[in-house]
Amino acid sequence: MAKPGSHTIIQVALPVPLRRTFDYLPKADTPVNLLQPGTRVKVPFGKRQIIGIIHGIIPHSNFGDDNLKTITGLLDEEAAIGPELVKLCQWAAQYYHHPLGDVYAHALPTLLRSKDDSWEEVSVRWQLTQKGRLIGLDQLGRAKRQIHALKILREHPEGLHQPMLKGFEVEAPILRTLLDKGLVDQHQDRPPRQHWRQDRILAESPLTLNEEQKHALQPIIDSTGFRPFLLEGVTGSGKTEVYLQAITHYLKQGKQALVLVPEIGLTPQTLHRFEARFGVPVVSFHSNLTDRERMISWRKARNGEAAIVLGTRSALFSPMENLGIIVVDEEHDLSYKQQEGFRYNARDLAIIRANQQNIPVVLGSATPTLESLQNARSGRYEHLVLSQRAGNARPPQFRVLDIRQKALTHGMAPELLKEMEERLKARQQVLVFINRRGYAPVLMCHDCGWFKECPHCDHRMTCHANPAHLHCHHCNHQLAIPRFCGNCKSTDLRPIGMGTERLEDNLSALFPKFPVIRIDRDTTQRKQAMSKHLERINTGEPCILVGTQMLAKGHHFPKVTLVAVCDIDAGLFAADFRATEHTAQLLMQVSGRAGRGDDRGLVFLQTHQPGHPLLQTLLSDGYGEFATELTNERRLMGMPPFGYLALLRAESADPRQASQFLNQIERWMQPAAQSLNAEVWGPAPALMPKKARRFRFQLMLRSEQRPALQQLLKQTVKKIEQEAGHRLKWSVDVDPVTL
């Protein structure tokens, strides 16, 4: 094998917050052919030994070849990160202006980032050497255990694996002694791979598609290379069935499928449907896996044992031996965007990955983002539409309830309560949506209006009843309930407003004969908690579901016929320019839980703004028309999808430092921005100006051309790294989904 010459320099990407690679020399005995991009290496860095990823090989270092350190070791025989993911990571690091080493870290399970273990499954086999076979046992003197080991191995000339040897009472230290004496050898065996192709693909027969589904499926299975699809289908229209059949097609060609979903824990039904349909292995990636389990699933995807990988955001970086199709379900879901560190959008990277690997990709949603709709309307994506619910289910009816000047019982109008009672008596289920967890959003002094603010954030603390405490939903800070007012010392402190806990209490009192099941972050935190709730709902017994947007996500509750949205007004007037879009998506998704079975669904919307134009359009003309109107507004403002945005955020414990820093950057950027036809706005305080004791500011960058924005970011990030970046916490957010 070729040995490294004097002109082999290894560029290594390290998990450090710097946007550069580091040069190292190979060890003298390193086979050059193993120095592939994506291979893990251990290197000295400062006083530590850390694991990095080979980025490339170059003949000369810019830092002078003589000053370089030598790598400590090569950890993979075959690169842990294969060529297609290396390419994807490089693209993402560049586009999101994020350190490459950290991007690579997203493509590896924790165990491979922290341990020297091989990613491949190996078992060590011990075998006698020539010397070991020939040596007289008396030459070992009185080393009884060594003699015993030699005897055992002489009975097994083909060698024995470690666990077998243990069975014969030959322990590892003895083997190591024999190894040092040159009497035995170690061999690394790779167990044969159980390729999924040996299994039966389908475990149950597929449903017969309706006409619309057939029309949607055909182009997906006809595509021979990269082709992006937007599958826009109303809730319950049978999008999942289309995914399942499209995937079946590619499995039959011996290819794998990658399916992204917003949150597996919340919607175990999706995973169950995949597992029920396919006879081939489906592995899933979600937050409840141990490091070991994650590693095993990763390996199964990598070496082709898994046919289908289903996972949340980070599963986008799953290694796949032979990927045939990518599906992104509920593409509008905000969870696809990572909101800290490496701020990538898995939905967008899915398109990039499909393009690089020349395969089809399907984005599905009942409420697509304006970006995806625009891509579909402009012809960049193929637009597939399912306008009808599948099977016998009909679309839900909407009823807008004007609650101005109305006497409400626990925030609910009499008409609504009456409707609830009727539905429950008819043994149906009712879903009440309120997007605030806790007991009440604020605990207020009835004498002077004082309330407790979080000492670390610019935000009032939410009142929780069980257990009783005040809770900051932004930094998790918790306090005991105060016994008297912090201002006038009055003891008359009252919870004001409604949260899920309080609604649960109130509804239990109003409808004592029916169980109330509350679903929010507090009741679903424990492992399996969500599954237990869902099981109970799926018994079909009449009950009331109370919950936050967790209830809006893709669930199929056939017995729910009434959905009540207590208060949609807040969402119509939020500061974020995307708030209207998100509110409409949430509203349609929650509504989509109604009437998925045989009985027609009804949706009650309580509002003080019954005439709000966007609400009108949404309800009378549907999400598509609503999206068109909103898209026209965005066009006039030059906002996405017609302009491109990035945020430059900074935060500091000192209230002035972050804004001064951004001020300086802004001054520096203006001339470059002007020549590139881009704009810089700010610095302005973030939407949450103070969070977890830190003051937060941001600059907004906008351009109508993506390359111009990228160019500006590139120059800026470089400048910050060179000059000021180490002084405070800052970050870049390309294509932000919230401001």
Which of Zn ion, ligand ADP, none has residue 454 at its interface (CB below 5 to 8 Å by kind)? Zn ion
Least CB distance to ligand ADP at residue 240 (A) = 3
Which of Zn ion, ligand ADP, none has residue 210 at its interface (CB below 5 to 8 Å by kind)? ligand ADP
Place of tokens 């009252």: 494
Least CB distance to ligand ADP at residue 365 (A) = 9
| Rounded Cα distance, 344 and 326, in Å | 17
H or E element, residue 227: strand 227-233
Q: Which is nearer to ligand ADP, 553 or 578 (CB)?
A: 553
The answer to the question of residue 487 lying near Zn ion (CB under 5 A) is yes
H or E element, residue 243: helix 239-252
H-state helical runs in 303-384: 346-357, 370-377
Least CB distance to Zn ion at residue 490 (A) = 5
Least CB distance to ligand ADP at residue 603 (A) = 16
In DSSP terms, which residues pair with 227 in a beta bridge?
A: 360
The answer to the question of residue 688 lying near Zn ion (CB under 5 A) is no
The answer to the question of residue 447 lying near Zn ion (CB under 5 A) is yes
Q: In the chain, what are the helix, strand and coil shares in percent, each to the nearest 5?
A: 35, 25, 40
| Rounded Cα distance, 278 and 261, in Å | 18
Tokens for 434, please give them.
């309120």
From 448, 510, 579, 687, residue interacting with Zn ion (rule: CB under 5 A) = 448
| Rounded Cα distance, 215 and 233, in Å | 12
Question: Of 161, 109, 88, 450, which Cα lies nearest the Cα of 296?
Answer: 109
Q: Which is nearer to Zn ion, 310 or 445 (CB)?
A: 445
Catalogue the E-assigned strands of 424-530.
429-433, 442-445, 462-465, 468-471, 478-479, 493-496, 516-519
Question: Using DSSP, how many helices (H) and how many strands (E) does the chain show?
Answer: 22, 30
From 203, 479, 488, 637, residue interacting with Zn ion (rule: CB under 5 A) = 488
Which of Zn ion, ligand ADP, none has residue 236 at its interface (CB below 5 to 8 Å by kind)? ligand ADP
Which of ligand ADP, Zn ion, none has residue 456 at its interface (CB below 5 to 8 Å by kind)? Zn ion
| Rounded Cα distance, 73 and 117, in Å | 12
463 labeled binding residue: no
User: Of all residues in this chain, which one has the CB nearest to ligand ADP in the complex?
Assistant: 238
The answer to the question of residue 568 lying near Zn ion (CB under 5 A) is no
89 labeled binding residue: no
The answer to the question of residue 477 lying near Zn ion (CB under 5 A) is yes
Convert 206-225 into a string of H (helix), E (strand) and C (coil).
Answer: CCCCCHHHHHHHHHHHHCCC
Q: Which is nearer to ligand ADP, 4 or 238 (CB)?
A: 238
Which of ligand ADP, Zn ion, none has residue 490 at its interface (CB below 5 to 8 Å by kind)? Zn ion
| Rounded Cα distance, 628 and 635, in Å | 10
Distance, C-alpha 143 to centroid of its chain? 57
The answer to the question of residue 203 lying near Zn ion (CB under 5 A) is no
Q: Find the helix packing angle between 83-95 and 346-357, rounded to 10°.
A: 130
Least CB distance to Zn ion at residue 547 (A) = 23
Question: Of 575, 572, 643, 584, which Cα lies nearest the Cα of 609?
Answer: 572
H-state helical runs in 539-612: 569-572, 579-591
Count of residues that bind Zn ion according to CB under 5 A: 15
Q: Which is nearer to ligand ADP, 112 or 384 (CB)?
A: 384
Q: Which is nearer to ligand ADP, 210 or 711 (CB)?
A: 210
566 labeled binding residue: no
Q: Which is nearer to Zn ion, 582 or 690 (CB)?
A: 690
| Chain contacts with ligand ADP (rule: CB under 6 A) | 207-210, 213, 233, 235-241, 390-391, 556
Residues found near Zn ion in the complex (CB under 5 A): 445, 447-448, 450, 454, 456-457, 472, 474-475, 477, 485, 487-488, 490
Residue numbers belonging to the annotated binding site: 445, 448, 454, 457, 472, 475, 485, 488
Known binding-site residues for Zn(2+) equal 445, 448, 454, 457, 472, 475, 485, 488
